Structures are given as C-alpha cells and as structure tokens.
C-alpha cells in the first residue's frame, strides 16, 4: 500500500457529475487515504490485504466506468502503476457511485508475484536505462473539480474502445 497522503493520478472515462460516462478521457489527482480512516468513514468497506483507499471527501473520486483503470504514481520522471480501480461506494437510491466517498484500489505491488507467474513475463528490460517510461511532460493541475479533461496522447497507455453494433457505436 502506498503511504497515506501520497498523490496519484487516476485516468478514465467513468461517470461524471452529469450522470453518464465521460466522452473525453479525464484525469484526477487523488491522495492515498489511511486504511483506518477509510474504513471508519465507510463502515461497509472491508479492505482485503492488498487493497487501499484513495480520494477526496469533496466530491472527487473514481466512479462507474473507471473500474479496471489505473492509479499511477510519479517518481522522478517515471510513472508506475500503483493501483487498479476496484470500486466506490454506491448511492442509496441508484447504482451510481457516491461522489463524496473514497475509492478502493487493488495494489499492483502485492500482485506482482502472481502477475509474473501467470503471464510468465520477464519484466526486466534489455533497453538502456535512459529509455523513458510514461509521460514526462504532463501538465499538473493544482485544482481539480471531478477531473480535468486530458489532451490526446497525454496518457498514451490509456485507450477507449467503441463497439460497432448496427452502426451504433457503444462505449466498452
């Protein structure tokens, strides 16, 4: 679990305050929340080993449609995937997420041995160490209101896939 108050960036096409999936890719900086604070605020959250919370208490969070996306952390000029969006608390009257709650993320670090075993991938590189990873010239926003629209290519590892069903493109 990343230390509490560590800032990460979640990127996704999830629901916005307009109650629908975002057409443009959006980004949001979220602080990691101490697990005790998270479970105190959300008594129904049962964090498993390898899960942590991140978010704001002021209507900024990951939401429906963001699940499976990443929470990335920056170390120097390099980004690393620290968490996978798992879930957020739902509104009582609907299946939509609550914007005033924290989101739960699955820690990638805790699952690296499993990922290596299942994929049988060698995660080391034969390339020189100066090969850049992630995006080095990302714009930083000091104030984020439920996410900021990104620019094409800003997060090159994040894509949106549409499915053509009888000439009606649907978000997947």
* pTM score above 0.85: no
Contact 55, 71 (CB under 8 A): no
- Break the chain into its structural domains and give their ranges: 7-171
Using CA atoms, how far residue 47 sits from 130, 142, 166, in Å, is 37, 30, 42
What is the pLDDT confidence band of residue 71, given thresholds at 50, 70 and 90? very high
CATH number of 7-171: 2.40.10.10
DSSP 3-state of 21: strand
Which DSSP helix (H) or strand (E) runs through 117? helix 108-119
Q: Under a CB-based contact definition with an 8 Å cutoff, are residues 54 and 30 in contact?
A: yes
Length of the chain: 172
Tens of pLDDT along 33-62? 998 888 888 777 788 889 999 988 677 788
DSSP code per residue over 136-158: SSPPP-S--SS-EE--TTSSTT-
Three-state DSSP at 38 gives helix
Q: Report the alpha-carbon distance of residue 80 to residue 134 in Å, rounded.
A: 8
Mean pLDDT of the chain: 75
Tell me the three state secondary structure of residue 41.
Answer: helix
Give strand pairing partners of 73.
Answer: 80
- CB atoms < 10 A from the CB of 109, how many? 13
What pLDDT score was predicted for residue 94?
A: 74
């Amino acid at each position: 679990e990343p230390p509490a108050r560590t800032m990460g960036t979640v990127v996704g096409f999830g629901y916005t305050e307009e109650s629908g999936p975002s057409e443009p890719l959006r980004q949001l900086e979220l602080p990691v929340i101490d697990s005790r604070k998270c479970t105190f605020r959300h008594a129904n959250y049962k964090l498993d080993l390898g899960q942590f919370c991140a978010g704001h208490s002021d209507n900024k969070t990951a939401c429906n449609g963001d699940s499976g996306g990443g929470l990335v952390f920056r170390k120097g000029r390099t980004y690393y995937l620290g968490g996978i969006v798992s879930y957020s608390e739902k509104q009582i009257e609907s299946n939509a997420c609550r914007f005033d709650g924290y989101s739960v993320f699955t820690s990638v670090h805790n699952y690296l041995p499993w990922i290596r075993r299942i994929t049988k991938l060698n995660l080391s590189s034969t390339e020189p160490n100066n090969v850049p990873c992630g995006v080095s010239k990302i714009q930083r926003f000091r104030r984020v209101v439920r996410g900021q629209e990104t620019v094409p290519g800003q997060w090159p590892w994040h894509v949106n896939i549409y499915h053509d069903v009888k000439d009606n493109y649907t978000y997947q």
